[in-house]
Structure 1
Amino acid sequence: MADSSTAWRSYDRPHLDPVLTAAVEAFNEVGYHGATVRDIARRCGLSVAGIYHHHAGKQEMLVAILASTMDELMWRNEAARRAGGDDPVARFCNQIETLALSHMYWLKQAAIGSTEMRALAPHNRGAIVARRAELQRHIQDDVDLAVSRGLFRTAHPKDAVRAVVGMCIQTGQWYDAGGEMSPEQVASDIVQVALDTVAYRTHAEENASA
């Protein structure tokens, strides 16, 4: 796991084994309930028995995919916050940037997190939901701190965070890898919209209005 000050901005292919990679493809194409272990086995070149040697079934595959996604999101979030130092505005911007980048670079894997949570058994769903809440809480903490310091002027910090997080997640639903803008360009725009959402005012703007 990388942890340098800039590694959270670098994205390779998701670190999934061949079975889970095939499951991601199948779940995206036909959905969790439409996918079969036999189809997943065919996609990764294994027998059905070979699949069960690695994963006990579809539920375990789904959990492993979502857990892997959350592992990546969490270490990147931590590194992004660390790179922001003591500045809650910088930490907020970094967290929004990496959340948006993750949902563009991992289009298929992230899509499963948006569409197949309902397929999880209750105890599995609860574990994933708790980790998502933890990540959002990190963003909320920096927004609340920035509000207390007069850096963010939103009167609705909780609603603002929900809106911004939702915006980051939705980039994976409309982003076109073949389009004119790179993920980094889109993420930069998302950060600016996020700052507008929390009503950020720079020192220069404050002085000009004084």
Structure 2
Amino acid sequence: MTLDPYAARPAWRDYGRSDLPIPLAAALSAFADHGYHGTSVREIAGRAGLSVPGLYHHYPSKQSMLQGLLEMSMDDLLWRSEQSIAAAGPEPIDRLDAVVTTLLEFHMYRREQAFIGSSEIRSLDADYRPVYTAKRRRQQQMVDEIVVDGAQRGVFVTGDPYDTGRAITTMCVGVSIWYRPDGRLSPDELVDRWGRIARDTVGYVGDSTRPEITSPQIVRHRDQGDAP
């Protein structure tokens, strides 16, 4: 899976400035630094340049800020995944490349949001948690459907498509923990290399009409910002 650095990027690959409202951007920053339970409303208000009553005018509680932040983040990821898969066409390998690219780029370019989205599920109120986890299941279902389709067509050689799909998603989600912009691999290089790993994971057998994928050089050292 080789990305053309000169090709115009579609909307689902466009990661400009985050459009989070100022209170949610402040909450994200504070949660990333101190965790949900270690962050006070006063801390969020200070980062947002608001008084505590002014912050409550926008969001009535710290919990509502966490919910709003996770809701916007997950909706963004779902939209990008749906768009990328639809644009990829009917072939399972093209759809796999698309959704893996989406997951990897989201967890690089929106890594704080992605990290909080995974680590603070435990902090969600019980009545909202099922709403949020349903969105995460929908994201996983997109990956599963592609892997199952490829296995049924015989282009993916895996006897456990659902476990394989979960392994690929887990691999991509984990990027938000260790990725750093100044690391050894650029975003496009990381997408290309880990996209190949995803293909290997599903056991993609290829076909005669597609170009060969050259195995990347094995790197035996670890720089700051690389995966553990």
User: TM-score normalised to the size of structure 1?
Assistant: 0.92
| C-alpha distance in structure 2 between counterparts of 1:5 and 1:139, whole Å | 22
Q: Which runs of 4+ in 1 moved over 3 A?
A: none
Of residues 124, 130, 135 in structure 1, which corresponds to 2:134? 130
Between 7-16 and 149-158, the greater mean CA deviation after superposition: 7-16
How far apart, CA to CA, are the structure 1 residues paired with 2:153 and 2:111? 36
Aligned to 1:141: 145
Query: Which secondary structure does the structure 1 equivalent of 2:174 belong to?
Result: helix
1:113 matches 2:117: yes
1:135-186 superposed Cα distances (whole Å, 9 cap, x missing partner): 1111111111111110001111111111100000001111111123222221
The reply on whether 1:65 has 2:69 as its aligned counterpart is: yes
1:13-52 to 2 correspondences below 5 Å = 13-52=17-56
From 72, 78, 81, the counterpart of 2:82: 78
Offset, 1:112: 0.3
Give the distance between the partners of 1:194 and 1:76, measured in 2 at CA: 19
CA RMSD of aligned residues (A): 1.5
Post-superposition offset of 1:10:
1.4
Gaps of 5+ in 2: 1-7, 210-228
Q: CA deviation at 1:5?
A: 8.0
Distance 2:182 2:91 in 1: 35
Contact 1:88 1:145 in 2 (8 A): yes
Matched, 1:177 2:181: yes
- Structure 1 CA distance, aligned partners of 2:108 and 2:20? 17
Letter of the aligned partner of 1:145 in structure 2? D
> What is the aligned partner in structure 1 of residue 16 from structure 2?
12
1:15 Cα deviation from its structure 2 partner: 1.5
Paired amino acid for 2:57: H
Give the aligned length.
202
TM-score normalised over the length of structure 2 = 0.85
Corresponding residue for 1:159? Answer: 163
Q: Which amino acid aligns with 1:29?
A: D
Any unmatched runs of 5+ in structure 1? 206-210
Between the aligned partners of 2:186 and 2:14, the Cα distance in structure 1 is 13
Distance 1:13 1:200 in 2: 36
Shift of 1:124: 1.2
